[in-house]
Structure 1
Amino acid sequence: MEKIMYEEKQKMTLWWVVLIVVALTSLMWYGFIQQIIYGLPFGTNPASDPVLIVLWVLFGIGFPIFFLTLRLEIKVTDQSIHVQFKPLMIKKQTFLFSEINSIQVETYHPIREFWGYGIRISLDGEKGYNVKGNHGIRIELKNGKNMLIGTQKPDEVKEVLDSIVWKE
């Protein structure tokens, strides 16, 4: 059985992303209340009531719930690293230390390297999992694939990774 050495759960709390979610959610609630509750058309070319209700359910309720449940989970055991971006990834990805060629904790540039946050692929094919910040675990697998997993605790995860000797 694998021994858990490190766990980290990160939520997407970038102020500008939160602002977009709050603005969109507020707009949908305002439109719903104005048109459905008070019977006043919302906008200069209002959608029909059924269409507005569908939009309200999707963007006034569903989108904020989805955003609130978004999280990146990292688990380092004595044998592997696990990563899962919930709820986008149903199954966690596992990388055995025996499959890893090199691993390092470093500072990176999420916008420049991955064009943003979330589950991304860089121009050179490297996969990135990040929600905020600019620290990550860069992994090069023996099969030639590379990836970066964002972390908010670079010193802590580096100390754990440095203490683990994996099979090469």
Structure 2
Amino acid sequence: MRFFKETQRFDQWWLHLLNLIVLGISVFSTYKAFATKNLDTPERNILILTFITVLIVLGVVYSIRLTTQIDEKGIHFRFFPFQINYKVILWTDMDKCYTKTYSPIKEFGGWGYRGIGRKKKAYNIRGNKGIQIALKTGNMLLIGTQRPKEAQQTINRYLKEDERI
């Protein structure tokens, strides 16, 4: 395989259920606030502000995407909307690169962008499989994947080509 591309989103069933419950409570509370005859109550304003905040947070959660591409140049990844442009890790900057099974909670404290300011970072959306990259600087990076076999095939192709140079 010459090229690998994968896009992941937060689309787990339990997350949809949780978001639906939160949105339902927020919609019901806001509706009740508008249905009352006293229009200037501070509670009503707080509920409206809470409803708007819930909508914004849900909009951000559902816009999050982790896109990974592997090609002859290296590994490109973007954690949108927090990263607008792709970050690229060149094959020449890597000491090791392989797929692995890991424990998201034990190793990184959960999913998302983890390890800010540390030597060991992770970008993951779901599951427990990822592309482990050991950089020549000593830093470690893990990028989650739902297709580890395909990713490993592409990694093997380019790592072998680099060894021939």
Place the TM-score, normalised by the shorter chain, in its bin. 0.7 to 0.9
Listed as ranges, the matches of 1:37-52 within 5 Å are 38-39=35-36, 47-52=42-47
Give the distance between the partners of 2:120 and 2:30, measured in 1 at CA.
Answer: 42
Q: In the alignment, which residue of structure 1 is the partner of 2:20?
A: 22
Give the distance between the partners of 2:42 and 2:8, measured in 1 at CA.
Answer: 37
Deviations 1:105-148 (A, max 9, x none): 111111111110000019x7410000101110000011111010
> C-alpha displacement at 1:166, in angstroms?
3.1
> C-alpha displacement at 1:39, in angstroms?
1.6
Give the distance between the partners of 2:162 and 2:31, measured in 1 at CA.
Answer: 58
Which amino acid in structure 1 is aligned with residue 56 of structure 2?
G
Aligned to 1:166, the other structure's residue is in SS state helix
> C-alpha displacement at 1:47, in angstroms?
4.7
Aligned to 1:13, the other structure's residue is in SS state coil
Q: In the alignment, which residue of structure 2 is the partner of 1:35?
A: 33
Give the distance between the partners of 2:29 and 2:133, measured in 1 at CA.
Answer: 46
- Contact 1:138-1:149 at 8 Å conserved across structures: yes
Which amino acid in structure 2 is aligned with residue 62 of structure 1?
I
Aligned to 1:32, the other structure's residue is in SS state helix
> What is the TM-score of this pair, normalised by structure 2?
0.86
Gaps of 5+ in 1: none
Q: Percent identity?
A: 27
Listed as ranges, the matches of 1:52-67 within 5 Å are 52-59=47-54, 61-67=55-61
Listed as ranges, the matches of 1:64-103 within 5 Å are 64-103=58-97
Aligned to 2:29, the other structure's residue is in SS state helix
- Contact 1:79-1:166 at 8 Å conserved across structures: no
Which amino acid in structure 2 is aligned with residue 52 of structure 1?
L
Gaps of 5+ in 2: none
The yes-or-no answer on 1:130 pairing with 2:147 is no
Aligned to 1:90, the other structure's residue is in SS state coil
How many residues get paired?
158
Give the distance between the partners of 1:157 and 1:133, measured in 2 at CA.
Answer: 15
- Contact 1:118-1:128 at 8 Å conserved across structures: yes
- Contact 2:119-2:138 at 8 Å conserved across structures: no
Which amino acid in structure 2 is aligned with residue 21 of structure 1?
N
> What is the TM-score of this pair, normalised by structure 1?
0.85
Deviations 1:3-35 (A, max 9, x none): x71110001123333333222222111111111
Which runs of at least 4 in structure 1 moved beyond 3 Å after TM superposition? none
Which amino acid in structure 1 is aligned with residue 29 of structure 2?
G
> C-alpha displacement at 1:48, in angstroms?
2.9
Which amino acid in structure 1 is aligned with residue 124 of structure 2?
N
Q: In the alignment, which residue of structure 2 is the partner of 1:139?
A: 133
- Contact 1:34-1:40 at 8 Å conserved across structures: no
Aligned to 2:22, the other structure's residue is in SS state helix
- Contact 1:138-1:147 at 8 Å conserved across structures: yes
Which amino acid in structure 1 is aligned with residue 8 of structure 2?
Q
Alignment root-mean-square deviation, CA: 2.2
